[in-house]
């Protein structure tokens, strides 16, 4: 479940919640993210906020992409 908002094609803000199955290894966790697009370059940041006992807590991703 999630939502994303684009600011005039230059910025992106997103949030979501992952409903997982503990038996399959993916638990429940919330996600927050933001991105900035400048011409062909996109810089994106994502944060996963899981519960205290989750393997998916306090994980941060940063990516840089080039769109052609």
Render pLDDT for 16-68 as a digit per residue (tens, 0 to 9).
Answer: 998 877 777 677 888 999 999 988 999 999 998 877 777 778 899 999 999 88
Per-residue model confidence as pLDDT tens digits over 1-12: 899 999 887 899
Q: What is the pLDDT of residue 25?
A: 67
Length of the chain: 68
Q: According to the model, what pLDDT value does residue 61 have?
A: 95
- pTM for the full predicted model: 0.74
Give the span between the Cα atoms of 63 and 30, in whole angstroms: 19
């Amino acid at each position: 479940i999630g939502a994303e908002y684009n600011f005039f094609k230059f910025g992106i803000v997103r949030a979501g919640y992952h409903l997982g199955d503990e038996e399959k290894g993916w638990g429940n966790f919330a996600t927050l993210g933001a991105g900035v697009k400048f011409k062909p370059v996109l810089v994106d940041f994502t944060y996963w906020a899981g519960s205290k006992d989750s393997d998916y807590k306090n994980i941060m991703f940063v990516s840089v992409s080039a769109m052609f």
